[in-house]
Structure 1
């Protein structure tokens, strides 16, 4: 009996190991392209727009959202995050308290990026440390089930109780290597998801294409970025299919840190980027946390903790100080990204606990 029990335990352990390995290698059969040479084919930043330094924020101690610990994560009320400083004041309202626990305690607590479908129906959230790397939330269906600002605890409670109606509005994708997971973005031209597989900074990233239906990788391109620049884990794609990323240098003295922006394209199976010759004298916040694009305003958004700056795409390389909008929020939440639907409604992702704020006319 003892031998039989040990044998069963061994089989169970092997099965569990196989499951884990299969999960980690969900992109093992994905077509991989190895790009020769450097992806950066032109230029470097030569000058910087002297935008005002509204966004000087030292590294702060991260806090939690109102009622998160007091209500044991099941918060019941929405609250407003005030845009208190900067040259573009806007407020954001907490609209969805996303699950923080599914398979084990806190496994969905470290969301790193957000994408909103063009229609606004779906929110795609990337969780690099979880057993499900991308989770798709059907916001329309959740609203029809009563998940609104009048029932803020309903989504987390529904997931905890395994409510079949709530779970029918959520698609859990497989586990795969997302790196830091901070750069999930939607290409509006193809309706495909993309992210940069890397840690925080590198010059040898991998660009990965993901199906919005299966939530699995379908293609990846490994490339060398540049001999002059490393790349941060940021990505946004405009309505014409142009890819953008940026690097922000650390604060120095009273400077908030300069920003260099890169514009590129994916052509079949290779990537090209060019540096925008004009950068920003003062980037937002202490460190980069994400990037977004609004198809209505045609602006790029640079996200840091507690502060977001935006710039118009059609004035890249010829920005004036007034073109750079900066909103500094009265908060100590850790920001993780921003995304917009085709109507221009914005969604800001923060953690502790994981939640989506909505913001209008941003």
Structure 2
């Protein structure tokens, strides 16, 4: 190996160790030069005047009186597009100690709906966490976690924490893989590119100097990091999704200025093997769904992008990006005052909302 290259790689590894965790140190790092965001004329930016179903930030309510509940709860739309989310999987809250899995931040569900990747952070404000991989197919068919024994998954992990595992608990936990801790950033952005099956997340959102990181679906730790800058005046968003063609998306809310305050800005681009490239879609949404952007997702069945906030979800057709009509924007406002953490769709169009307090997957069809 060339001496200069060896020194550079050593420096990268050392810096990664200082940032925390051996998992980051093992990730290949690429430093992108120049701006990753294409230039644009702010005078040409417009917004579509979509229906305002804004949900103000609220105090979260729990979904359960007993953590080992066996019957589903529901979230119903109160305004906008009619929709009902119904409990499908009650996710673990406790694994090693009380409520240590109580801060889920994002989810990925595979096209067939049989595998779930859940990113959890150590606390609500932490930038460290881990990924848990669930074999939902086996857990549903063998142990009825979505039907006859909805409490089985939470009981197994709780018994793990209290060191009182039964043979059934041990069998259930074989279908759960817990990854190592690493620097996750906010953790809201775990997403899978359906074109190549790669898992990615934004390691440093809301900063001019950002990065995206690829995660191994086997080891559940970062294997690659791409450092980049959108431009000196634009910060990276904290959400990420991909469409069926492999295009990457994130969105932010405008702080005002040349774009209306509170407008949804949409960015489209590509994450390549060693670099990223994005451009601003020159038409945004005048009205945002809620106070805080929680997640972004894509439904291949309907070819739509979804903007998720607590208690409110909006969506648009990908084919109309940049020239939307207000009537093409769908939105729903929901009851329940739950924290919305993620939304994923299977190839047949079934949607799974990950909500917290406590953590669970709620299912919806044709949304």
1:308 to 313, 324, 336: 313
- Contact 1:78–1:149, Cα closer than 8 Å, also in 2: no
**After TM superposition, which residue ranges in structure 1, 4 or more long, deviate above 4 angstroms?**
20-23
* SS of the residue 2:340 aligns to: strand
Correspondence list, 1:277-356, <5 A: 277-356=282-361
Q: How much does 1:21 deviate? A: 9.2
Q: Does 1:97 align with 2:90?
A: yes
Q: Does 1:74 align with 2:68?
A: yes
Distance across 1 between alignment mates of 2:207 and 2:147:
40
Aligned to 2:114: 121
Q: In the superposition, relative to structure 1, how do residues 222 and 84 fare at CA in structure 2: closer, same or farther (>3 Å)?
A: same
1:112 to 99, 105, 109: 105
* SS of the residue 1:156 aligns to: helix
Distance across 2 between alignment mates of 1:123 and 1:154:
17
**Deviation by residue 1:192-226 (Cα, 9 ceiling, x = unmatched):** 10000125x22221100111122121111011112
Structure 1: state its 5+ residue gaps. 1-19
Aligned to 1:273: 278
**Deviation by residue 1:110-135 (Cα, 9 ceiling, x = unmatched):** 00001001221101100122886000
- Contact 1:251–1:286, Cα closer than 8 Å, also in 2: no
1:234 to 236, 239, 258: 239
Distance across 2 between alignment mates of 1:143 and 1:102:
20
Q: In the superposition, relative to structure 1, how do residues 132 and 233 fare at CA in structure 2: closer, same or farther (>3 Å)?
A: closer
Q: Does 1:28 align with 2:25?
A: yes
Distance across 2 between alignment mates of 1:31 and 1:77:
45
Distance across 1 between alignment mates of 2:157 and 2:300:
33
TM-score, normalization by structure 2: 0.87
1:191 to 194, 197, 205: 197
- Superposition RMSD on alpha carbons, in Å? 2.1
**Deviation by residue 1:18-52 (Cα, 9 ceiling, x = unmatched):** xx999833121110001111110232660001111
Q: How much does 1:184 deviate? A: 0.4
**Deviation by residue 1:220-248 (Cα, 9 ceiling, x = unmatched):** 10111123322220100011110001111
Structure 2: state its 5+ residue gaps. 1-16, 160-164
- Contact 1:336–1:349, Cα closer than 8 Å, also in 2: yes
**Deviation by residue 1:258-295 (Cα, 9 ceiling, x = unmatched):** 01100011233011100000010001111100110111
**Deviation by residue 1:146-202 (Cα, 9 ceiling, x = unmatched):** 212332211100222241111011111111110110000000011010000125x22
1:56 to 44, 54, 57: 54
Q: In the superposition, relative to structure 1, how do residues 49 and 268 fare at CA in structure 2: closer, same or farther (>3 Å)?
A: same
TM-score, normalization by structure 1: 0.88
Report how many aligned residue pairs link the two structures.
334
Correspondence list, 1:241-260, <5 A: 241-249=246-254, 257-260=262-265
Aligned to 1:12: none
Q: In the superposition, relative to structure 1, how do residues 44 and 268 fare at CA in structure 2: closer, same or farther (>3 Å)?
A: farther
Q: Does 1:208 align with 2:203?
A: no
Q: How much does 1:90 deviate? A: 0.8
Aligned to 2:170: 164
